[in-house]
Copies of this chain bind each other. A is one copy, B any other.
Amino acid sequence: MHRRIEDLAGLVARVLTTRRATIALAEPLEQEDWVAQSMPDASPVKWHLAHTTWFFERFVLGALGFEPVDPRNDYLFNSYYESVGKRVERAKRGLLTRPTAREVLAYRRTIDERLAALEGSPRLAEVGAALELGLHHEEQHQELLLTDVKHLLSENPLAPAYRRGHSPAPRPAPQLAWRDFAGGVAEIGHRGSAFSFDNERPRHKVYLAPFRIATRLVTAGEYRAFVASGGYRKPELWLSEGWAWIQAGAHAAPLYWRDGMHFTLDGERAIDDAEPVTHVTYYEADAFARWAGARLPTEAEWEHAAADATPGGFVEDGHLHPRVAAEGFTQMLGDAWEWTASAYAPYPGFAPLEGAFGEYNGKFMVSQMVLRGGSCATPRGHARTTYRNFFPPSAAWQFSGIRLAKDGA
């Protein structure tokens, strides 16, 4: 990657601050929780801590000629970079009881010290772009660490909490309203020199038909009405693949709803009807929208509309689920990832980064749907309106929610 970023000042310090925040996220857990892997899609906490460290070692320090701390780390902690070489099978990350947590933390410290020593180095500019990518990569894994841990704890019959938080006083959600957009030729995609992933570029024109978009996310209460109306038993509401998913898994509610309770990072609690519904698959989001006489927005509609929204979201520490919506056109950033009707595909003129970084986003552009907006588990400052998250339609372990749209006049 040869992009030279303009502003190196403070970059190393921001990297180190971000990396300390990762450790802080792991601390409320028991040591045992760091090891286990609850499904192939999720990784152990310890692996997240090691992999993000390896990312800096391999792509920043490696580019500067540092000897690796242990050459076997390429095999242990490479996620999916074919250009780097072979690696531990994804589904077997939970078997890596060694290196131990203590060793992984020592590895982090060593790499952090080497990164700290780059401050003021004449060679910093050479790796500025990789450092910056590493920072955003670290932030992505902060969110994954939380959602992967949530999945792990949810599998435990004891339903342990990640961390007990202080819940805000309950309040009702505002009435759902619609925001109208006239459409026409619009522009989406990232512009300017600030950081973005390659998949957000280039900024380009799209043509939008008139559309309406809901002013807030669908609430748990609204979703409960869908469930209560027999939504999961009516094939006419579902995509064919979604209906097959229901049959195969006997699904009848979102992932973490069970017996009328909601498993959260705070432990099990009653479902709060005013909160946004989260942890739904694309199939569920799509079926709910059809039931509601609406549809999901495309990612272009979403991004176009986002310019008008009140900056929102991003719950504070200690409250690890999305907040009840405020009045106005809101919840577009930092509440729940919003399934869009758009499959994940390259933008016109898309060019992946060179080298291994070209594998970061581009090679996943099939069989996945785009989600927008960032969730309550997304680090503040990480999300932006051009950000394109993507998951297969059956994924539900992220804080994925629903915003409705309709064709306009």
Contacts and interface: CB of A to CB of B under 8 A. Distances in A.
Nearest to A83: B236
Interface stretch (A15-23, A115-123, A237-245): A237-245
Interface stretch (A131-139, A250-258, A269-277, A359-367): A359-367
Given A95-B38, A158-B98, A207 B205 contact: yes
A6 interface: no
Given A282-B366, A366-B241, A345 B349 contact: no
A38 B37 CA distance: 11
A5 interface: no
A145 interface: no
A206 B205 contact: no
Chain B CB count within 10 A is highest, among A92, A94, A157, for: A157
Nearest to A75: B157
A291 to B, nearest CB: 14
A367 to B, nearest CB: 6
Size range of the chain A interface in the assembly:
35 or more
A114 to B, nearest CB: 22
**Secondary structure dominating the interface of A:** mixed
Contacts of A346: 295, 341
A251 to B, nearest CB: 16
Contacts of A83: 235-236
Chain B CB count within 10 A is highest, among A31, A83, A99, A295, for: A31
Contacts of A240: 80, 359, 363-364
Contacts of A36: 35-36, 94-95, 97
Contact of A342 (B283, B341, B345): B345
Interface in A1-58: 30-36, 38, 46
Contacts of A30: 97-98, 100
A36 B100 CA distance: 12
A211 B367 CA distance: 24
Interface in A358-390: 358-359, 363-367, 369
A157 B82 CA distance: 18
A284 to B, nearest CB: 12
Interface string A138-178: 00000000000000110111101000000000000000000
A307 interface: no
Oligomeric state, in number of copies? 4
Given A30-B100, A157-B72, A240-B363, A95 B152 contact: yes
A363 B238 contact: yes
A185 B183 CA distance: 13
A94 B94 contact: yes
Contacts of A235: 82-83
A191 interface: no
Contacts of A242: 366
A80 to B, nearest CB: 7
A157 B85 CA distance: 15
Contacts of A95: 36, 38, 152, 155-156
20 contacts: A30-B97, A30-B98, A31-B101, A32-B34, A32-B97, A35-B97, A38-B95, A76-B157, A76-B158, A82-B243, A88-B157, A96-B156, A98-B158, A185-B185, A239-B366, A241-B364, A242-B366, A283-B366, A342-B345, A366-B369
Top-7 shortest CB links A-B: A343-B343, A82-B235, A32-B97, A207-B207, A209-B348, A240-B363, A35-B35
Interface of A: 30-36, 38, 46, 72, 75-76, 80, 82-83, 88, 92, 94-101, 152-153, 155-158, 160, 185, 204-209, 211, 235-236, 238-243, 282-283, 286, 295, 341-343, 345-346, 348-349, 358-359, 363-367, 369, 393, 407
